[in-house]
Structure 1
Amino acid sequence: MHLQTEVLVIGAGPVGLALAGDLGWRGRQCLVVERGDGVIGQPRMDLVGLRTMEYCRRWGLVGEVEASPYDRDYPQDNVYLTSLNGYELERQPMPSMRDEPAPPESPQHRERCPQNMFDPILCRFARSQPSVELLYRHEFLSFEQDGDGVTAKIADLATGAEKTIRARFLVGCDGARSAVRTQLGIDMQGRGLLTNTTNVIFRCPEFNRLHDKKPGYRYMFVGPDGIWATIVAINGNDQWRMSIIGNARERPEYTNEEIEAFAHRALGRPFDLEILSVLRWARMELVADRYHEGRVFICGDACHLTSPTGGLGMNTGIGDAVTLSWKLAAHLEGWGGPGLLEAYGIERRPIAKRITAFSTENLRTMKQVPTSEKLFDDGPEGAEARARAGRALAEGLRQEWFSMNIHLGNRYTGSPVIVYSEPEDPQAIQAEFDDAIHYRPTSRPGCRAPHAWLQDGRSTLDLFGRHFVLLDFGGPDAASHAFTAAARAAGVPVEHVRLAQPEIASRYEKRFVLVRPDGHVAWRGDAIPEDAQRLLATVTGHQGD
């Protein structure tokens, strides 16, 4: 059987579904091939980050995320303890999802929506696009590419029948063991294996009634050698995920009795629990050397593996998907040049290196907390040991709980499709890059265009997504009309939006700001360049033509 599509996506995890949905939202044809049946046996993520929620806003999915089965009234505190019936060392209070307000820097806030709840939302979004087709229980086998496209072979796992798919582009969203990345021969660099960890989903409806602590979202258990396990409220009700944190030397396979013993140690007493699933996995820090070759790309975990200590793996992958989607669509529509496709890895690899290093540092803080056997003593020395450990965790992990600059402050520097026409301070850029917490909205080229509320109740972010937007904070003039005329002549979709709100003009800093479909600034200035065609050629990837 021979199939044909514009973009073939391998893998229907959250990144593959987001890519397919966004391509379909842009009117492009997409076929998704997934080896599994779409059922999530054990959710690997549960945080939908701030930037991802902004994309969900763009796609009209915020209501579905908020209506997911997760108990939005459940408190989100992070709690450090010896055990739930032992000593509480420190607590980071956090509001429930219902009570958490959107910060001034965004129209949205983060959401707790585990993968078994979030993937179906993305799946419905992708399926709702007439140009998107999903093939579950089909396995990717191989591909060959030429100057015009990619020919891939897949197998129907129900019948064993092989099928051939012809596509203009292929994207591997097929995870840590990506077959697409392997066939491309792309290596990965980084610290490699960090720990061997075992995740256990168990059911215990009365869990929070078996101890005397205030409920929390994440309980982190401290022993003589640092944090050895965490338990999180996976649905805010009766299901919990216990992560038994191992090391990089051993890959244990625990029996159910041993797993129950770990749970009893965490609670501080025996109790009845129903083990629903067990997942043994390797915690890694790796980033791919490159993100594409010819017409074949990789996305999400296929190009970066990170510790979940920060909740950034899936959220970074969805950022990859949104950035890649508009570039592929531009190429398919005829106005995107080869430089756009080359820019994908140039822009996204530094972000992956940033988030993997950040997440590993959070893990290091957890594992190297100052502690000893005195932690369990009732006397003054024990109290001091607990206070010292609690302070170290509260201060060290603050950047994980309040990492707004990691989510919103990812600036693309050195991109061939962004115009950097102002003096740059490398030290200031590096300082912003190193700061996980303090996000400073700016319209400097390469940054996420800032959020501000429009007079009609919309966010400035609601203006972006479908095409380029030229924000104009001045009055009518011939230059802006000449720019949009040049864009029309080149077939580049640009919408000219004039805003007469001084407070927004102040936040955007320049009279003209050109925003890309992914919401990042492509260029800004107080005057339109005389050679508007050159500017357009650069931001659309035709600068070398």
Structure 2
Amino acid sequence: MTQEIQADVLIVGAGPVGLTLAMDLQSRGVTVAIAEIRRYAEPPNVKCNHVAARTMEQFRRLGVAQKVRDAGLPPSHPNDVVFRTAVTGQELTRIPIPCRRDRYTETEGPDAWWPTPEPPHRINQIFLEPILLEHTAALPGVTLLNRTQVTAFTQDGAGVQASALDLDTGQERVIRARYLAGCDGGSSTVRKQIGARLEGTAVIQRVQSTYIRAPQLAALIPGKPAWCYYSVNPRRCGTMFTIDDGQTWLVHNHLNPDEPEFDSVDRDWAIRQIIGVGPDFHYEVISKEDWVGRRLVANRFRDRNVFLAGDAAHLWVPYAGYGMNAGIADAINLSWLLAARINGWGDAAILDAYEAERQPITEQVSQFAMEHAAKMIKARRAVPANIEQAGAEGEAIRADMGREAYQLNVQQFCCAGLNFGYYYSGSPILASQGEEQPPPYSMGGFTESTVPGCRAPHFWLADGRSLYDAFGPAYTLLRFDPAADADPLLAAAATKGLPITVLDVHAGKLPAAYRHKLVLCRSDQHVAWRGDAVPADPAGLVELLRGAIPLSSQA
């Protein structure tokens, strides 16, 4: 007998992107069904090692930030990135990053000044995903369908009907939803079914990656521990991540351009050269996690009622940790737009903003990642043959290499620009006509701004709350001057059911970017409009905010 399931949104894939999308939709009163081919709590791959500040801000809003921050490495374990001639060799340089015990209080160093209530967190996906899964599965209005494979779907005016198969029982399922979100990874069946194509650079580099158990390794590593170790020597360059309390490690062997296959290099030999140990050192291979660095972006993120997010929409070299985190940003953007439509105040065209906003951002971020990958490939090929030489000459070489490594890599591990600098432009729901251009940003640097499309700069309210803790579910109007009359805008919004939360700001020192009396922010923290007074046509602004004015007709 065919089982029938109904939900507002069907999500295909229960990785971090799909789970975040489900949590966010549920928080907005939207019912969700999640189809996932894996068993419940089946361990994920050892992939992502970093949760960005913007992601942690959203986890804070969704009630899981503290759970995430309490997991991963021990509280006092340094999150430093260290460069050595081998993991057990001589240190070249170190990028200091606070341990999670000191994450909120540390003020010194390139990663300790973040203008946010939730700084980044170093945690492997094997610890992160179970937290998100347990939280999501317990939410009312969420139906989790494990061992369920969506085999096909059709669309009509009312939404999407998907055919699915229970992989354990063989039972057929029909899932009916208004919208479908493909969060099903790089080989996405949803992307293939809607005819979208990944375009860009198919291979930037190959990485022979191995998850190992080596409990005796920690005792062999000199000096202060680290979260990430770069091994720089003429035999083999690679990277090693500390996964837990010193029992398991993830070793990346970065293959050279003349090593086109994953087995081009002997895996055991490479691991030993990267770590700096001889044949008597024992370790156990838990799994092989080989991957290809790419720069691929889908030529479209949507087909009518079906959307793509995460790796289904874009794949790139995960420098700066912006693979999973970019996918979660997709989910947050898509969620509030879908909820606007489902909850009745958003026009059908508001959904056009998803592709208009997220596709250009993925192009920007993937270019940053690709450019950094090219520089890293060049640096690995330029390691001096005598970098391990004893004496003054060797010390000078190592000092030079250390300075170069620090300058090249501090921006990707302390990537404030990618967290806080990116902005949306060309969106149909941003009141950007006549506005100045958003300030440029780099991987590591940015300028705070309230230009529509930018992230609303964070500050702490007089009552001790984060600005973002006071945001409403749709739009929030920040009023910096109590005499500024917002009633015409609120009245126009009320006629269309568009929710606007008014926040009268009483704070001490404000970021200099807040130069206007009124700043209207979206729930995803991006500025939608600003001014010293409500526009002469408040109804027109409301129509724009709810997606009812096509971009082509905006003057």
Q: Shorter-normalised TM-score: what interval? A: over 0.9
Aligned counterpart in structure 1 of residue 454 of structure 2, from 447, 454, 472: 447
Distance in 1 separating the partners of 2:222 and 2:78:
15
Distance in 1 separating the partners of 2:401 and 2:158:
59
Question: What residue in structure 1 maps to residue 436 of structure 2?
Answer: 424
Secondary structure in 1 matching 2:451: coil
Deviation at 1:69, TM superposition (A): 4.2
Question: What residue in structure 2 maps to residue 59 of structure 1?
Answer: 62
Q: Does 1:468 align with 2:478?
A: no
Aligned counterpart in structure 1 of residue 246 of structure 2, from 220, 237, 240: 237
Question: What residue in structure 1 maps to residue 107 of structure 2?
Answer: none
Superposed counterparts of 1:202-241, under 5 Å: 202-224=212-234, 228-241=237-250
AA aligned to 2:250 is R
CA contact (8 A) 2:237 2:274 kept: no
Question: What residue in structure 1 maps to residue 374 of structure 2?
Answer: 364
Aligned counterpart in structure 1 of residue 29 of structure 2, from 27, 30, 50: 27
Q: Does 1:8 align with 2:34?
A: no
Distance in 1 separating the partners of 2:262 and 2:159:
44
Q: 1:247 to 1:465 in 2, by over 3 A?
A: farther
CA contact (8 A) 1:25 1:129 kept: no
Q: 1:108 to 1:368 in 2, by over 3 A?
A: same
Range that drifts further, 172-181 or 301-310 = 301-310
Distance in 1 separating the partners of 2:64 and 2:96:
28
Distance in 2 separating the partners of 1:113 and 1:488:
43
Range that drifts further, 440-449 or 524-533 = 440-449
Q: Does 1:79 align with 2:82?
A: yes
Q: Does 1:68 align with 2:71?
A: yes
Q: 1:41 to 1:485 in 2, by over 3 A?
A: closer
Question: What residue in structure 1 maps to residue 404 of structure 2?
Answer: 392
Range that drifts further, 136-145 or 79-88 = 79-88
CA contact (8 A) 1:41 1:277 kept: no
Deviation at 1:119, TM superposition (A): 1.0
Range that drifts further, 283-292 or 14-23 = 283-292
Q: 1:27 to 1:41 in 2, by over 3 A?
A: closer
AA aligned to 1:188 is L
Deviation at 1:6, TM superposition (A): 0.8
Secondary structure in 2 matching 1:185: coil
CA contact (8 A) 1:474 1:500 kept: no
CA contact (8 A) 2:88 2:222 kept: yes
AA aligned to 1:36 is R
Secondary structure in 2 matching 1:263: helix
Deviation at 1:338, TM superposition (A): 2.6
AA aligned to 1:400 is Q
Q: Does 1:494 align with 2:504?
A: no
Q: Does 1:303 align with 2:313?
A: yes
Question: What residue in structure 2 maps to residue 260 of structure 1?
Answer: 268
CA contact (8 A) 1:10 1:171 kept: yes
Distance in 2 separating the partners of 1:340 and 1:126:
26
CA contact (8 A) 2:36 2:147 kept: yes
- RMSD over aligned Cα, in angstroms? 2.1
Deviation at 1:400, TM superposition (A): 0.7
CA contact (8 A) 1:286 1:305 kept: yes
AA aligned to 2:426 is G
Aligned counterpart in structure 2 of residue 503 of structure 1, from 503, 509, 520: 509
CA contact (8 A) 1:473 1:505 kept: no
Distance in 2 separating the partners of 1:78 and 1:403:
13
Distance in 2 separating the partners of 1:380 and 1:499:
59
Superposed counterparts of 1:53-202, under 5 Å: 53-101=56-104, 103=113, 105-202=115-212
Distance in 1 separating the partners of 2:422 and 2:193:
30
Q: 1:207 to 1:328 in 2, by over 3 A?
A: same
Deviation at 1:140, TM superposition (A): 1.5
Distance in 1 separating the partners of 2:322 and 2:472:
22
Deviation at 1:380, TM superposition (A): 5.0
Distance in 1 separating the partners of 2:512 and 2:66:
32
Range that drifts further, 359-368 or 172-181 = 359-368
Distance in 2 separating the partners of 1:90 and 1:380:
17
Distance in 2 separating the partners of 1:208 and 1:69:
17
Q: Which runs of 5+ in 2 are unaligned?
A: 105-111
CA contact (8 A) 1:470 1:513 kept: yes
Question: What residue in structure 2 maps to residue 313 of structure 1?
Answer: 323
Deviation at 1:89, TM superposition (A): 2.2
Distance in 2 separating the partners of 1:109 and 1:153:
41
TM-score, normalised via structure 2 length? 0.92
AA aligned to 1:508 is Y
Per-residue deviation, residues 47-97 of structure 1 (Å, max 9, x unmatched): 111001100111121220122142121112212222234332222222212
Distance in 1 separating the partners of 2:233 and 2:353:
46
CA contact (8 A) 2:217 2:246 kept: no
Deviation at 1:363, TM superposition (A): 2.2
CA contact (8 A) 2:114 2:416 kept: no
Range that drifts further, 155-164 or 366-375 = 366-375
Distance in 1 separating the partners of 2:89 and 2:145:
50
Per-residue deviation, residues 167-191 of structure 1 (Å, max 9, x unmatched): 1000000001111111111112222
CA contact (8 A) 1:472 1:513 kept: yes
Distance in 2 separating the partners of 1:308 and 1:315:
10
Superposed counterparts of 1:510-525, under 5 Å: 510-525=516-531
Which consecutive aligned stretches of 4+ in structure 1 deviate over 6 angstroms post-superposition? none
Deviation at 1:348, TM superposition (A): 0.8
Range that drifts further, 503-512 or 465-474 = 503-512
Per-residue deviation, residues 436-479 of structure 1 (Å, max 9, x unmatched): 222322221111111111111101111225121111112245x4
CA contact (8 A) 2:436 2:451 kept: no
Distance in 1 separating the partners of 2:444 and 2:504:
32
Q: 1:283 to 1:40 in 2, by over 3 A?
A: farther
Per-residue deviation, residues 127-147 of structure 1 (Å, max 9, x unmatched): 232111111111121111122
Q: How many percent identity over aligned positions?
A: 35
Per-residue deviation, residues 250-287 of structure 1 (Å, max 9, x unmatched): 222489xx433333222322311122111222221111
Q: Does 1:246 align with 2:255?
A: yes
Question: What residue in structure 1 maps to residue 337 of structure 2?
Answer: 327
CA contact (8 A) 1:203 1:274 kept: yes
Deviation at 1:381, TM superposition (A): 4.7
AA aligned to 2:254 is I
Secondary structure in 2 matching 1:334: coil
CA contact (8 A) 1:339 1:417 kept: no
Question: What residue in structure 2 maps to residue 40 of structure 1?
Answer: 43
Question: What residue in structure 1 maps to residue 108 of structure 2?
Answer: none
Secondary structure in 1 matching 2:320: coil
Q: Does 1:408 align with 2:417?
A: no
Deviation at 1:404, TM superposition (A): 0.5
CA contact (8 A) 1:505 1:511 kept: no
Distance in 2 separating the partners of 1:155 and 1:404:
43
Deviation at 1:535, TM superposition (A): 0.2
Distance in 2 separating the partners of 1:401 and 1:465:
32
Distance in 2 separating the partners of 1:439 and 1:80:
26
Q: 1:505 to 1:223 in 2, by over 3 A?
A: closer
AA aligned to 1:283 is G
Aligned residues: 536
Q: 1:156 to 1:254 in 2, by over 3 A?
A: farther
Distance in 1 separating the partners of 2:488 and 2:269:
72
Distance in 1 separating the partners of 2:371 and 2:392:
31
Per-residue deviation, residues 329-352 of structure 1 (Å, max 9, x unmatched): 111111111332111011111211
